Chains A and B, each alone.
Chain A
Amino acid sequence: MNECYIYDHARTPRGRGKPTGGLHGVTAIDAVIQILQALRNRNNLDTDSVEDVILGVCEPYREQGANIARASVLGAGYAHSVAGIQVNSFCASGLDAMNIAAAKVMSGQTDLAVGGGVEMMGRVPMDGAGGSVSTDPTLTANIGSVLQGVAADALATIEGFVRRDVDAYAAESQRRAAQAWEEGRFDGAILPIRDVNGQIVLDKDEHLRPGTTVETLGNLKPSFPSFAERGFASVLLQRFPEMEAIDFVHHPGNSSGIVDGASGVLVGSKEAGERCGLKPRAVIRACGSIGSDPSLMLVGPEKITERLLKKTGMSVGDIDLFEVNEAFASVPLRYMRVFDLDSDIVNVNGGAIALGHPIGATGGMLLGTLVDELERADKEVGLVTLCAGLGLSTAAIVERAA
């Protein structure tokens, strides 16, 4: 099996996913084109040598539909020979896109590829693409479909996380993200997005709320009781009867933010890198996806972590840094409890609670953040994982290139 190296990565700033957001005037294809062009330009890539562009999109409809990967290859002026594939594993789409690119490299079927994703949530709203998942009555009766936020509250209930626990986590995410920006830790990854005249429209993540405290979060009302009452709570109580009732602790301040963004990661074999004059930054040790309980949904990260550790013969202690997507505060809290992790090595630069979660793009962004932080903190091994709808989860273990 070949080694797969990470050579470069780029991401857009994360714009607020609403009409007042900084990227609201940018099309999904334009965001991806600018990422692809940046990866080409700053690495002096002859795009003939890129074989695949694989992009994750959670809501592949409207402007994000019809294989945006191939469309953006053509729009970015890459060689016509570059293939384009769009993949969907909900919140894990971006990392799965990167993992598929990596697996192609490892198997020797591709030499150089871009993985990543896009989600302009303010322009292409969540839950617009339809699908059978929660609408098909026979399917939902069989699998117990619930709204993800209600599942997050159920997870907190089962784990005994009270409002103060999740709010404290959220406040810390804000503090870390603000500090990371202050110290310029995202500078290498951020690609300022420009308009047609080259003017910068956004060069900073804009979802952050620096100065957030447990007290300021205390005024926010829980988001999901009204959904739970419409039946989702019963579905969860039937499947997890140890709960007497669901405690509602999640709200917009401790859940991932709705934002616009795109990401790209350039991966390839050792030979391809040498041929193109690229400097390897990290090597992928393992990657994969897994399914877990579809109703509770959010415990997949621990399952895929266990599987990757087993496959690599590593232990949790071998991992120096973790990026665990902050879909809801209860997710990283549970993950840290399960593996008995020190919070100092998990999401050290904040996460989606502070920065936002542009669904299809997040996986590529978190991987980039992890690689940058391994270098900055001079550490060796990192793990990135995201939970996703219907119990899916995806992860990758990377190590700094020698």
Chain B
Amino acid sequence: MNSMTRSKEMHVRYSVDPDGVAHLVWDAPGLEANVLNDESLDHFIGAIDRFVEDEKASGLVISSAKPTFLAGGDIKMLYRKCRAAQRGDAPWDTAHAVYDQLRPLVNALRRLETCGKPVAAAINGSALGGGLEVCLASHYRVVADDETIRLGLPESTIGLLPSAGGTQRLPRLIGLKKAIDVMAFNNALSPSEALACGLVDEIVPSNELIGAAKAYVQGANAPAVQPWDEKGFRIPGGGPQDSARWHLIFANARSSAVYGGNYPAPTSILTCIYEGALTTIEEGFRIEAAHFTKLVQDASSQNMIRSEFLGPRILRKAVEAPVNPIGKLGVVGAGNMGSGIALAAALSGLDVVLSDTSAEMVSDGRQRAAAAYDALVKKGLASEGRKQDVLERIGAAGDFSALGDADIVVEAVVEDIDVKKDVLRAVDDILPGEAILCTNTSTISVNELAGVLQHKERFTGLHFLGPVPRMELVEISPGAGTESHAISTAFGFVRQIGKLPIVLAPDRGYVTSCIAAAYAQEGLHLLKEGVHPAVIENAGQILGMPMGPLALNDLMGGDVSIGAMRQAIDLGRAAPGAAEVIEMLETLVDAGRLGRKAEAGLYAYDGDGRAERLWPDLHRLFPYEGGTDSSARIDVIKMRLLDAQVCAALRCLDEGLTDDPLAVDIGALMGCAFPKWTGGPLSYVDTIGAKVFAERLKAYDAATAQRFKPGDFFEGLVRENRSIYNEDLEDRT
């Protein structure tokens, strides 16, 4: 048999112990982790069939020779297939063909669980997606006692669903409520959580894993039949039309609330769970395959795979980082941004010195870092136990002298050009030659700041977003004189603290600032036109933005926004319609409505700085029409909030901030919380087509159309009937 002679290249090894226990070991040749792709599936199915037919084998243990068990499908392969399905290329050229491609694995797993011989999965590391589905088709699951192991079915995050029976077996094993949580809301389980809900049967030390699995298949009473194949089987917790009914009702409501109508995958997952639970498991597999087929052909899966997985992977490797990591970070300015940057670095094990003009201000900054740490603990993103250790890494300095031995210094003082120039000049003087100097400005020209420095070559813009510990994106905007060494050092530093760097062209501004400003400003334009503010805010949320545009204005602060827009006008980068917005913001500022920091803005605030309600007197400054009149126009309002951002994104390419569409899409998604279903503003244009988008822009009223100018780059797309993403992206990974 072929597999004997080529065994070294096999993804899956099959062997039988003298005692009759067979082993199926996942061990992808030359890879760090096992992966499900066409080749490995072929090997896996072959091994299953051998076991089923092997008269010498009395039971089977499935295990992995890698640190993880099996972390799911090959994302690049999935991306290729989604693109092929959406383009209509063979072999996924028809819905029928896609469906047929799924059946071999589904059928093989079904043969395995019904072959009459016991099968145990020995789960030594994380089992995700298809990896967990393999475990679900086993009769017994034993997992290593390592709480960092994750057992989950995260397919919804890339617009897909578990397609190897997961939507059918998981609810039958652990009940609808928990299964919905795992699949539709992407909550992976730790071993102890998995044991508690019955997803796994046993937790043992990792060196006893194979033994425990083997002991099960050798046990005299080891059932070789799945619960759902037993007569009289009932789903734990009941079915969707009896005792689990309210779980479904609430899950549907939660799905509508969380995903709006924008994401097809969670609805499909819930439907597979619901419909599957009302029929046989075999029929359930067909329902699952039909929904997977539908999702593969929907643009959202391709867009989400590209922007959630492939894009960040590509951008992380965009620049070769220096070999030597950063040992010490200096931060100048102990405000929110400065203390946040300090904390983010300390969390990654760097030593930090936080400086400001007085000991008192630094002390305040350290307290801010401590409060930010507490917020992370609250969200489960950091452990209380590490708190002291992390915060002790942040040293304090009441002046700049302590920065002398830093490898990199980030300036994060107040957004005032003269103050920044003074600070940067002073730091530049004391910083050794090999160290890098960065500014966290979001609005001031890097070139202009560089103008006051002796060492322009080691100076770059490094744009963090708040809250720093939670925002993964950092934009690098060098100056005209910045050397590549400085850029790669900054890039390496950002990677070192676990964040994603985007390198932009010298001194053209930041992608995230452009797109966020477009959203916030379009909200104000709508308000000025008399649209009810509640409708504006809800329209943003209906799009899938986590925050309405008026709330974003309050967060940015009216005075800061005015300053930024004036700066943009001076630099010739202002968005169309900026003057009107400045006028509105000035009206608000004059009325004392600066925003959240003043606890008074477009919103009214409670005592704790939380927005309570839209400011009831807002209509006195900007009269607006009745809610229902605005409501009737919700579709146009919603599209304007989307299109304003898309136009800003297109202008980023046009104005040369970057020539990489990925940098713009990922910037919008990670920096501005642009809705994921689109894959980013540029993916969105590709999805609907440049011509369609151009038509839509033309259909707006004259004043709006005047503002929505996507630029020459876009006109070229329309003229030449091109898409923005042309080459096959997987070549870049």
Report A's interface with B, CB cutoff 8 A: 127, 130-131, 134-138, 140-141, 144-146, 158, 230-235, 237-238, 240-245
Chain A positions within 8 Å of B251 at CB level:
137
What residue in chain A is nearest B239 (Cβ atoms)? A130
A138/B255 in contact, CB under 8 A = no
B253/A242 in contact, CB under 8 A = no
B274/A136 in contact, CB under 8 A = yes
Q: Which stretch, B128-136, B463-471, B520-528, B531-539, touches the partner chain A?
A: B531-539
What residue in chain B is nearest A140 (Cβ atoms)? B252
B241/A135 in contact, CB under 8 A = yes
> Given contacts A135-B240, A244-B534, A244-B613, are A146 and B627 in contact (CB under 8 A)?
no
**B697 is an interface residue with CB less than 8 A from chain A:** no
Inter-chain CA distance A367–B636, complex, in Å, is 45
> Given contacts A135-B240, A141-B261, are A231 and B254 in contact (CB under 8 A)?
yes
B534/A241 in contact, CB under 8 A = yes
> Given contacts A130-B242, A231-B250, are A242 and B630 in contact (CB under 8 A)?
yes
**B257 is an interface residue with CB less than 8 A from chain A:** yes
**B631 is an interface residue with CB less than 8 A from chain A:** yes
Chain B, 483-535, CB within 8 A of any chain A CB: 532-535
**B567 is an interface residue with CB less than 8 A from chain A:** no
Inter-chain CA distance A321–B609, complex, in Å, is 52
Min CB distance B494 to A, Å, is: 35
Min CB distance B177 to A, Å, is: 13
Min CB distance B270 to A, Å, is: 3
Q: Fill in one digit per residue for B225-260: 1 if any A CB lies within 8 Å of its CB, else 0.
A: 000000000000000111001001111111111101
Q: What are 26 inter-chain pairs, A to B, with CB distance below 8 A?
A: A130-B241, A131-B241, A137-B271, A138-B267, A140-B252, A141-B252, A141-B267, A145-B249, A230-B254, A230-B257, A231-B252, A231-B253, A231-B255, A232-B253, A234-B260, A235-B256, A235-B257, A237-B541, A238-B260, A238-B261, A241-B542, A241-B630, A242-B535, A242-B628, A243-B538, A244-B613
What residue in chain B is nearest A144 (Cβ atoms)? B256
- Interface majority SS on B: helix, strand, loop or mixed? helix
Inter-chain CA distance A136–B245, complex, in Å, is 10
A135/B249 in contact, CB under 8 A = yes
What residue in chain A is nearest B537 (Cβ atoms)? A244
Inter-chain CA distance A141–B270, complex, in Å, is 10
> Given contacts A242-B535, A245-B613, are A231 and B257 in contact (CB under 8 A)?
yes
List 15 additional contacts besides A140-B252, A141-B256; criterion CB under 8 Å.
A127-B245, A130-B242, A134-B248, A137-B271, A137-B274, A230-B254, A231-B254, A231-B258, A238-B260, A241-B534, A241-B627, A241-B630, A242-B626, A243-B538, A244-B533
Chain B positions within 8 Å of A130 at CB level:
241-242, 245
Chain B positions within 8 Å of A234 at CB level:
253, 256-257, 260
How many residues of B are in contact with the other chain, CB < 8 A? 39
Min CB distance A227 to B, Å, is: 8
Q: Fill in one digit per residue for B626-649: 1 if any A CB lies within 8 Å of its CB, else 0.
A: 111011001000000000000000
Min CB distance A228 to B, Å, is: 9
- Sort A-B residue pairs by CB-CB distance and give the 5 closest, nearest first: A242-B627, A231-B253, A137-B270, A234-B257, A241-B538
B534/A242 in contact, CB under 8 A = yes
Chain A positions within 8 Å of B252 at CB level:
134-135, 137, 140-141, 145, 231
B274/A244 in contact, CB under 8 A = no
B542/A138 in contact, CB under 8 A = no
Chain B positions within 8 Å of A158 at CB level:
627-628
Inter-chain CA distance A244–B248, complex, in Å, is 27
What residue in chain A is nearest B638 (Cβ atoms)? A241
B255/A241 in contact, CB under 8 A = no
B631/A240 in contact, CB under 8 A = yes
User: Which interface residue of A131, A136, A245 has the most chain B CB atoms within 10 A?
Assistant: A136
Chain B positions within 8 Å of A245 at CB level:
613
What residue in chain A is nearest B259 (Cβ atoms)? A141
Return the contact of A242 from the options B245, B248, B250, B532 (Cβ within 8 A): B532
Report B's interface with A, CB cutoff 8 A: 240-242, 245, 248-258, 260-261, 267, 270-271, 273-274, 532-535, 537-539, 541-542, 613-614, 626-628, 630-631, 634
A141/B255 in contact, CB under 8 A = yes
Min CB distance B611 to A, Å, is: 11
Chain A positions within 8 Å of B533 at CB level:
244
User: Which interface residue of B240, B256, B270, B630 has the most chain A CB atoms within 10 A?
Assistant: B256
User: Which interface residue of A127, A137, A230, A245 has the most chain B CB atoms within 10 A?
Assistant: A137
Chain A positions within 8 Å of B541 at CB level:
237-238
Inter-chain CA distance A237–B614, complex, in Å, is 15
A244/B614 in contact, CB under 8 A = yes
Chain A positions within 8 Å of B253 at CB level:
140, 145-146, 230-232, 234-235
Return the contact of A135 from the options B245, B261, B532 (Cβ within 8 A): B245
Min CB distance A239 to B, Å, is: 9
Min CB distance B240 to A, Å, is: 5
User: Which interface residue of B240, B257, B539, B614 has the most chain A CB atoms within 10 A?
Assistant: B257
B256/A237 in contact, CB under 8 A = no
Min CB distance A154 to B, Å, is: 12
Inter-chain CA distance A235–B258, complex, in Å, is 10
What residue in chain B is nearest A244 (Cβ atoms)? B534
> Given contacts A241-B539, A241-B631, are A140 and B256 in contact (CB under 8 A)?
yes
Inter-chain CA distance A238–B253, complex, in Å, is 12
Min CB distance B250 to A, Å, is: 5
Chain B positions within 8 Å of A127 at CB level:
245
Return the contact of B534 from the options A135, A144, A232, A243 (Cβ within 8 A): A243
What residue in chain A is nearest B630 (Cβ atoms)? A242
A241/B250 in contact, CB under 8 A = no
Chain B positions within 8 Å of A136 at CB level:
271, 274
Chain B positions within 8 Å of A140 at CB level:
252-253, 256
Return the contact of A237 from the options B261, B267, B538 (Cβ within 8 A): B538
Chain A positions within 8 Å of B257 at CB level:
230-231, 233-235
Chain A positions within 8 Å of B627 at CB level:
158, 241-243
Inter-chain CA distance A244–B630, complex, in Å, is 13
Min CB distance B601 to A, Å, is: 15
Min CB distance B635 to A, Å, is: 10
Chain A positions within 8 Å of B260 at CB level:
234, 238
Min CB distance B498 to A, Å, is: 32
Inter-chain CA distance A127–B628, complex, in Å, is 32
Min CB distance A238 to B, Å, is: 5
Chain A positions within 8 Å of B271 at CB level:
136-138
What residue in chain A is nearest B626 (Cβ atoms)? A242
User: Which interface residue of A131, A145, A232 has the most chain B CB atoms within 10 A?
Assistant: A232
A238/B242 in contact, CB under 8 A = no
What residue in chain A is nearest B184 (Cβ atoms)? A137
Inter-chain CA distance A231–B253, complex, in Å, is 5
Return the contact of B538 from the options A138, A145, A231, A238 (Cβ within 8 A): A238
Chain A positions within 8 Å of B534 at CB level:
241-244
Inter-chain CA distance A347–B376, complex, in Å, is 56
> Given contacts A241-B534, A241-B538, A243-B627, are A135 and B248 in contact (CB under 8 A)?
yes
A238/B256 in contact, CB under 8 A = yes
Min CB distance B278 to A, Å, is: 10
Chain A positions within 8 Å of B256 at CB level:
140-141, 144, 231, 234-235, 238
Chain B positions within 8 Å of A241 at CB level:
534-535, 538-539, 542, 627, 630-631, 634
Min CB distance A230 to B, Å, is: 5
Chain B positions within 8 Å of A240 at CB level:
631
Min CB distance A229 to B, Å, is: 9
Inter-chain CA distance A145–B252, complex, in Å, is 9
Inter-chain CA distance A140–B240, complex, in Å, is 14
Chain B positions within 8 Å of A230 at CB level:
250, 253-254, 257
Min CB distance A192 to B, Å, is: 37
What residue in chain A is nearest B246 (Cβ atoms)? A127
Min CB distance B543 to A, Å, is: 10
Chain B positions within 8 Å of A237 at CB level:
538, 541
User: Which interface residue of B242, B253, B257, B537 has the most chain A CB atoms within 10 A?
Assistant: B253
Inter-chain CA distance A130–B249, complex, in Å, is 11
Min CB distance A298 to B, Å, is: 16
